[in-house]
Structure 1
Amino acid sequence: MDPMMILALLAMGCFGGFAAGLLGIGGGMILVPFISAVLAARGVPESLVVHMAIATSLATIVFTSLSSVRAHHKHGAVVWRIVALLAPGILVGSTIGPWIGKQMNTATLSWFFGAFVAFSATQMLVNRKPAAARDLPGTTGMFAAGGVIGILAGLVGAGGGFVSVPFMTWCNVRIHNAVATSAALGFPIAFAGTLANVFYGWGEPGLPQYSLGFIYVPALLIIVAASVTMAPLGARTAHRMPVRQLQKVFAVILYALAAYMFWKAL
C-alpha cells in the first residue's frame, strides 16, 4: 500500500473517530464512502467494493465504540438500562443485516444506504418535538426496536446511531444521553456484524489479498489506529455543544453521505 493511501486512511480514521465520539454513530457511515473509493483505486471488483467497504467500516466500530463509550461514561451520560434493553435485539438483527446485504448488488445497496441516511438526516433536522408523555416502549418493544437497529446497521456498515439516536430522542431521551448510549450500542452491533461479514464473505471469489471474509484488514488496522485516539476528543466536544447545534451537525453530515452514495449508485 503506497504512502499516500496510508495517509488517506489515517485521515479517514481521525475524522471517523471524532464523528463517532461527537455523534454516537460509530463512524461507520462516515467511512463507507471513503473506503469504497480506496478499494476501487486498488482494483477491487466493482461488485465487491461497497460490500467490503461496509464490512470493513463495521469492523472498525468494534474498536472505536469502546474508546468513545469510555469517554461518554466519564460524563455519566450513558443510559445503561437502555443499552441492556436494546442489546439482545441488536445482536440478533446485526447477524441478519449482512446476510441481506450479500443478496443485494452494489447499486441497490448504495441506493438503500443513501435513502435511509437522508431520511434519518431529515428527521433530525426537522426537530419535530415528541409528545411530552411519550416514553421508551416496554421490553418486547425494545427488543423489536433493537432488532430493526441491528439489521439496518449491519446492512449499511454503521454503528446504528443514525437510527438509535433519532429513536431515543423521539422517545424523549435527551440528545446528549442518546448520543452516549448509541456509542455503547455500537459495540454489540459491530461485533455481531463483523462475525457475520467474515462468515458470509469467506471464500468469496475476487476478494483482494489480506481480506478476512468481506473485511479488508490493512484498511481496518490503519483506520483503527487513528480513530481510537480521536473518539474521546469527539465525545468531550459533544458534551460542550448546545442540543440544537449538535442535531444540525448530525443532519448535515448525514446529508453529505447520502449524496455521495446516490452518486455512487448512479
Structure 2
Amino acid sequence: MLAPFDIAALATLLVGGAATGFLAGLFGVGGGAITVPILFEIFGIMHVADPVRMPLAVGTSLAVIIPTSLRSVRAHYLRGAVDVSVLRAWALPIMVGALCGATVARFAAPEVFQAAFVVFGTVISAKLLFGKEHWRVATEMPRGWILRFYGFFIGAVSSLMGIGGGAISTLVMTLHNRPIHQAVATSAGVGALIAVPGALGYVAAGWGKPGLPADALGFVSLIAFALTVPATLVTTPMGVALAHRLPRRWLEVLFGLFLATVAIRFMIAIARG
C-alpha cells in the first residue's frame, strides 16, 4: 500500500501530466513549463540532492515531451495548420542546439536552469500580453543561415530550460508576422526535434552523478516518466481542439499569463537561494 506521501506524489504527477498534455495541444508547447516546476517540487519532497534536483526535473521533462509533442503536432497537422517547410529547415539545427544545451547541463549550476526560465519566460509573456501589431522583426520568415540559426538557438535554450521549444519558436514566428494559430501549430512539431536529442543528452550528462534516485537513467527519472505520460496523451487532443476555437487575442493572453506565472515561480526560487 502506498504511503500518504506516495499517494500525494502520484496524484500530483497525474494531474501534472494531464495539464501538460492539455497545454501541449493548446499552446503548441511540450509542456515542460509545467512539468519542470512540478517535478522540481516532487524531487524535493523525495529528498533528491539539490545539485541534481533541477537537471533531473529538466531531463525528465524532456523525455515526457517526446510522446506529448508527437501527439500534439499530429493533431494540429490534421487541421492543416503546420508549416512543414519551417520544421524541415529547423530540424538539424534544433537537434544540434538541443545536444549543446544538454552538454552545458552537465557543468551548469542549478540556478542557470532557473534563470533561463525567468529570462525567456518574461520576454515571451511580455510580447504576448503587451505586444502590438507593429511589434515585428520582419513581415516574412527569413531564409538560409538566419533561419537555421533561429533553430539552433531555439534548441539550445529550450534544452537548458527543459521545455519543448514551443514558447520560443512561437515568439520567433509571431515576430515574423506569422498568425498565432499557425505559430502554435508549427511549434508543436518543434517539441520532438528538441526532446529526443535533449533527453538523450541529459541521460549522458547525468550518467554516474551522485545523489540521483535509484530509478534514474542519468538525469531522467523513469518512474516519473511512466506516471506522467499516459495522462498527457489523453488530454493533448482536448487542448488542440480548444486552440482552434479560441480567438487569436485570447490565445495570446492565456499563453502570456501562463508563461508569466512560471517565470515568477522560478524567480522566487532563485531569490530563496
Task: Work out whether the TM-score is over 0.5.
Answer: yes
Is the partner of 1:25 in helix, strand or coil? coil
Q: Which residue of 2 aligns with 1:258?
A: 263
1:48 equivalent in alignment to 2:52: yes
1:202 equivalent in alignment to 2:207: yes
Distance 2:254 2:137 in 1: 25
Q: How does 1:214-253 map to 2 (within 5 A)?
A: 214-253=219-258
Unaligned runs of 5+ in 1: none
Distance 1:245 1:224 in 2: 28
Q: Which residue of 1 aligns with 2:182?
A: 177
The alignment's TM-score, normalised by the length of structure 2, stands at 0.94
How many Å apart are 1:6 and its aligned residue?
0.8
Is the partner of 2:210 in helix, strand or coil? coil
Distance 1:93 1:43 in 2: 31
How many Å apart are 1:165 and its aligned residue?
0.1
Cα displacement string for residues 173-209 of structure 1 (whole angstroms, at most 9, x for unaligned residues): 1111110100011111000101101111111111111
Task: Give the aligned residue type for 1:220.
Answer: F
Candidates 29, 35, 39, aligned match of 1:25:
29
Q: How does 1:186-197 map to 2 (within 5 A)?
A: 186-197=191-202
Task: Give the aligned residue type for 2:139.
Answer: R
Q: How does 1:115-154 map to 2 (within 5 A)?
A: 115-130=119-134, 134-154=139-159
- The answer to whether the 8 A contact 2:203-2:220 is kept is yes
Q: Cα 1:14–1:265, aligned 2, differ >3 Å: closer, same or farther?
A: same
Cα displacement string for residues 153-181 of structure 1 (whole angstroms, at most 9, x for unaligned residues): 10000010111001001111111111010
Is the partner of 2:47 in helix, strand or coil? coil
How many Å apart are 1:138 and its aligned residue?
0.7
CA RMSD of aligned residues (A): 1.3
Name which of structure 1's ranges 256-265 and 102-111 shifts more when overlaid on structure 2. 102-111
Q: Which residue of 2 aligns with 1:91?
A: 95
How many Å apart are 1:214 and its aligned residue?
0.2
- The answer to whether the 8 A contact 1:124-1:248 is kept is yes
Q: Cα 1:212–1:132, aligned 2, differ >3 Å: closer, same or farther?
A: closer
Name which of structure 1's ranges 122-131 and 248-257 shifts more when overlaid on structure 2. 122-131
Is the partner of 1:204 in helix, strand or coil? coil
Q: Which residue of 1 aligns with 2:160?
A: 155
Distance 1:233 1:70 in 2: 13
- The answer to whether the 8 A contact 2:66-2:191 is kept is yes
Unaligned runs of 5+ in 2: none
Distance 1:229 1:122 in 2: 31
How many Å apart are 1:264 and its aligned residue?
1.3
Task: Give the aligned residue type for 1:255.
Answer: A
Q: Which residue of 2 aligns with 1:107?
A: 111
Task: Give the aligned residue type for 1:180.
Answer: A
- The answer to whether the 8 A contact 1:94-1:147 is kept is yes
Q: Cα 1:36–1:76, aligned 2, differ >3 Å: closer, same or farther?
A: same
Cα displacement string for residues 98-138 of structure 1 (whole angstroms, at most 9, x for unaligned residues): 12233221123212321221111111112232459621111
Distance 1:105 1:254 in 2: 23
Task: Give the aligned residue type for 2:177.
Answer: N
How many Å apart are 1:63 and its aligned residue?
0.6
Q: Cα 1:118–1:133, aligned 2, differ >3 Å: closer, same or farther?
A: closer
Distance 1:258 1:76 in 2: 32
Distance 1:157 1:133 in 2: 28
Task: Report percent identity of matched pairs.
Answer: 35
- The answer to whether the 8 A contact 2:105-2:202 is kept is no
- The answer to whether the 8 A contact 2:137-2:175 is kept is no
